[in-house]
Amino acid sequence: MHSALLHTHNLLRWVVLVLGVLAIVRTAQGLGGATPFAAARKSLSMFMGTVHLQLLIGLLLLMNSPIVQAAMRDMEATMADRALRQVVVEHPTLMVLAAILITVGSIVAKNRATDAAKHKLGLTFAVITMVVILAGIPWQRALFPGMN
């Protein structure tokens, strides 16, 4: 089960990143106010949905990971090891924050009065969410683990 979750989580990372870029592009295209928010809203919703799915898979992976289970036994050593701390503490924390940000942003943006305001707020939250996601990805790990 752990291996399947790990591969799914790693592949879904790329879907999240692509949909995040798409949401940023779609919301940026509507900043002038001439473009209806519907297309951008759909992109934001798809981005939000994949972030939520990725978070769920990540939490399941966290509960089933032998690395995390071993790390939890000695948190002092875990916190002293930068790579292990990132996987066990920083990555999950930042990804929960990313899910919260895109959810709040999507909800608040759709409730703005004008399409221009909706696009602007959607863009702001999509960019902030992508920055948090990019900061939280453990880039030192293989980009496609187990797929040599």
Write the DSSP assignment of 70-101 as a string of letters.
HHHHTHHHHHHSHHHHIIIIIHHHHHHHHHHH
Identify whether 148 is part of a domain. no
Identify whether 142 is part of a domain. no
Identify whether 147 is part of a domain. no
**Can you tell me the distance from the alpha carbon of 71 to that of 78, in angstroms, rounded to the nearest whole number?**
6
Identify whether 89 is part of a domain. yes
**Can you tell me the distance from the alpha carbon of 99 to that of 113, in angstroms, rounded to the nearest whole number?**
24
Identify whether 23 is part of a domain. yes
Task: Choose among 87, 57, 91: nearest CA to 70.
Answer: 87
Tokens representing 19 are: 């949909």
Cβ(35)–Cβ(148) below 8 Å: no
Identify whether 27 is part of a domain. yes
Tokens representing 50 are: 């994949």
From first to last of the 148 residues of the chain, give the pLDDT tens digit: 778 888 888 889 999 999 999 999 999 988 877 788 888 899 999 999 999 999 999 999 888 888 888 888 888 888 888 888 888 889 999 999 999 999 999 999 989 988 888 999 999 999 999 999 999 988 776 665 555 4
Structural domain total, the chain: 1
Identify whether 71 is part of a domain. yes
Domain residue limits at 35: 2-136
Cβ atoms within 10 Å of 43's Cβ, excluding its own: 22
Identify whether 141 is part of a domain. no
